[in-house]
Chain A
């Protein structure tokens, strides 16, 4: 048997092990393996490997967010990008695209850039990569812009967590619904939760790496906000109590406290 011929069978054996052959091709590869000890051994070892690889939890993993929340994130991101485009921001620069919400940082950057441009010419300057900021054709050291982005990301995340905590506290003391027993009025809270979820989508799209340590708490907060957002304006008491238990079980209020303190430095 020539080595080229055998190589073709080895390839088919691999594909057979992967379950990627069907019909006559699979039957032929199986028949060959039965008459070729080396191929049979190859097939057995590959199958063992693939059985093991099938245990990878990723193959059964479910997204940590349900469809409605994911859809809300996508919509918020599309809206943000559309707003950006209408403001004539240069979307082709990834850093600027990520920083769609960085209007205050942009203004600050422009101010700093002006400082760099108009300071005395004799001042020695470090070699830096120039970055064009917004519509002002001014150069800002990239490292400085990066620091500002991170700082704003932390501030925005802290504000979001503050607001979420405020909402969760409100939810613990709901008003009863008029003329309905065992029902509580959470219309405003549900509305605020939806707003917060939209803000959360913006946080994810930008600066995510800079607030990595907060992610587990952000995830927990998002889970609870989704629960609140899904309540009707006149919700059953027991539904709200279930949410309160979840907040308590996850020690969410305390965690938010710790994380906002960390973010605020």
Chain B
């Protein structure tokens, strides 16, 4: 990151290699569209390069990138939602859910269930207040510790715990019946 701050473009490759997958999943959990998520990851690294000089050398890069990714995904999601609201009825908002699967993807039956679950989760996540959604996404998709979530979102540990508690209960209510 220090190299990037000095304008060394070559430093982008190792940084991206280390973080692009998890940032892609984070963005995908918000946007639910592989192309949009990829565009979001691209913009995260562009922003990282442009703002590298402002990066505090004492802090970790991961949470900083995560913060950029979450903010960018929320902005992009809001823009998309405004567009959808103008163009399509609300019940079509879920869109086509088609994330790419890795080689260790489950069986077709599990994938079918996974697709249904994915759509329900996307819908349940959309119903969460923003902060609850952020903490749930970072825990569920990025498996971050509570302390890392607090650091990334600049929240107190207590706020992270209570937001996560509320989020998971809300998710349970919304996912109930999907067995």
In the complex, A10 Cα to B168 Cα: how many Å? Answer: 11
Determine which residue in A52, A56, A62 has the highest number of CB atoms from chain B within 10 A of its CB, and name it. Answer: A56
Contact of B175 among A11, A49, A201, A208 (CB under 8 A): A49
Q: How far is the CB of B145 from chain A (nearest CB, A)?
A: 7
- List B contacts of A59 (CB < 8 A): 25, 140-141
Q: A55-B114, A65-B38 known; A15 and B171 CB under 8 Å?
A: no
- List B contacts of A208 (CB < 8 A): 35-36, 39
Instruction: Return the chain B residue nearest A60 by Cβ.
Output: B102
Query: Is B24 a contact partner of A61 (Cβ separation < 8 A)?
Result: yes
Query: Is A77 a contact partner of B42 (Cβ separation < 8 A)?
Result: yes
Query: Is A204 a contact partner of B39 (Cβ separation < 8 A)?
Result: yes
Residues of chain B in range 109-159 having any CB-CB distance to chain A below 8 Å: 110-111, 113-115, 117-118, 121, 139-141, 145-146
Q: A14-B164, A53-B171, A215-B35 known; A62 and B114 CB under 8 Å?
A: no
Contact of A57 among B42, B46, B104, B114 (CB under 8 A): B114
- List B contacts of A65 (CB < 8 A): 38
Is there a chain A Cβ closer than 8 Å to B63's Cβ? no
Is there a chain A Cβ closer than 8 Å to B9's Cβ? yes
Is there a chain A Cβ closer than 8 Å to B69's Cβ? no
Query: Is A204 a contact partner of B99 (Cβ separation < 8 A)?
Result: no
- List B contacts of A18 (CB < 8 A): 139-140, 164, 168
Q: A18-B164, A49-B175 known; A61 and B102 CB under 8 Å?
A: yes
Residues of chain A in range 119-153 having any CB-CB distance to chain B below 8 Å: none
Query: Is B99 a contact partner of A58 (Cβ separation < 8 A)?
Result: yes
Instruction: Return the chain A residue nearest B167 by Cβ.
Output: A14
Query: Is A64 a contact partner of B165 (Cβ separation < 8 A)?
Result: no
Query: Is B12 a contact partner of A74 (Cβ separation < 8 A)?
Result: yes
User: Lowest 10 A-B CB distances belong to which pairs?
Assistant: A61-B99, A14-B165, A49-B172, A11-B165, A63-B24, A55-B114, A55-B117, A62-B102, A74-B45, A57-B114
Q: Which residues of B contact A (CB under 8 A)?
A: 9, 12-13, 16-17, 20-21, 24-25, 28-29, 32, 34-39, 41-43, 45-46, 49-50, 83, 97, 99-102, 104-106, 110-111, 113-115, 117-118, 121, 139-141, 145-146, 161-162, 164-165, 168-169, 171-172, 175-176, 178-179
Q: Give 11 new A-B contacts, CB below 8 A, not counting A10-B165, A60-B105, A204-B39.
A: A20-B139, A53-B175, A56-B114, A57-B114, A63-B20, A64-B34, A67-B20, A77-B46, A204-B35, A215-B35, A219-B35
